[in-house]
Structure 1
Amino acid sequence: MVKSFQGVREAEPRNQTQPISVRDHMTTNLITFRPDDTIDKVLVTLASKKISGAPVLDHSGKLVGIISEVDCLSVVIKGQYTNTPKFSALVEEKMTKDVMTLSPDITIFDAAQLFLEHKIRRFPVVKDGKLLGQISLSDIIRVFTKLKTTTW
């Protein structure tokens, strides 16, 4: 019988990398709007889903803008002055049309830098002209709280 006197060996720690691309942390099940939706519909949806904005897609599914609570405020304020509780303005009239997008392959560090530079709350994630998802400032913050210092 052969006895080993080497004792228990600890396994070498694997250098596991953490998923740090936007693709790994973006939201993919998105609420979207159409340019011909009304601000009424947007406000009800944003409030009920507890979100602050969403992409706007044309009938072919192409990203044409983004609508946010801030975009809707002017319609709400105008309604107060005209004593109109209905907000029939169309999304296409109030949405932000010049939308900055991100590639799914950039790192969350690069995305964080873009959030700082542009002071916006969300970026649609697009590849080859197709909307894949959206990454928000909150998503980025959540990722950073989960990163381990050994793979930072």
Structure 2
Amino acid sequence: MGIKSFQGARQEIKREYLRPIAVADYMTRKLITFTPEQCLLEVMETFMKHKITGAPVIDENGKLIGIISDSDCMKQISEGRYFNMPIGDMVVRKYMSSDVMTINGDASIFDAATQFHKTRHRRFPVVENGFLIGQISRKDVMLAALKLSGHHWR
């Protein structure tokens, strides 16, 4: 004699993920930014004060025009000594990276993880129509992955 179940028909379980996984859901919106005419000393002081290693550079309208990082500062400290150039005279515009890789807010955190892995960047500005709307970091992606752990990733 077979075993009968009194639970009735079970509903088919959908394996769709219902939590948000877009970059815009995990990006930082309140950013420290710099302008092209700011002094490199001010940048370094801000990096130390806020314990960050880089930040976007925006124009007066909020459009992204570059990134300044601790690596850019290290290069100028090193070369400044060699060429006897005081750091106080250096401005962001001359030392920032203007060829900036960005990511779309609609991209998934998995796309962001892939982009981080391929490029070894630490952060990507998130832009919409050229305007800076946020930034996603490696840490943000890892935090998102921890929130998603135990779920099926598709």
Q: Which amino acid aligns with 2:127?
A: V
How many residues in Structure 1 have an aligned counterpart in Structure 2? 144
Is 2:129 aligned against 1:128? Answer: yes
- CA deviation profile, 1:58-79 (whole Å, cap 9, x unmatched): 1222110000000111121234
SS in 1 for 2:55: strand
Structure 1: gaps (5+ residues): 1-5, 7-11
**What is the aligned-residue RMSD (CA, Å)?**
2.4
Give the structure-1-normalised TM-score.
0.84
Q: Which residue of 2 aligns with 1:99?
A: 100
In structure 2, runs of 5+ residues without a counterpart are: 1-5, 7-11
Offset of residue 107 of structure 1: 0.2
Partner of 2:43: 42
**Letter of the aligned partner of 1:107 in structure 2?**
S
Deviation at 1:119, TM superposition (A): 1.2
Match runs of 1:80-119 below 5 Å: 80-81=81-82, 86-119=87-120
Q: Is the 8 A contact 1:76 1:87 kept in 2?
A: no
Cα distance in 2 for partners of 1:93, 1:86 equals 12
Distance 2:28 2:101 in 1: 17
2:57 corresponds in structure 1 to 56
Q: Is the 8 A contact 1:18 1:151 kept in 2?
A: no
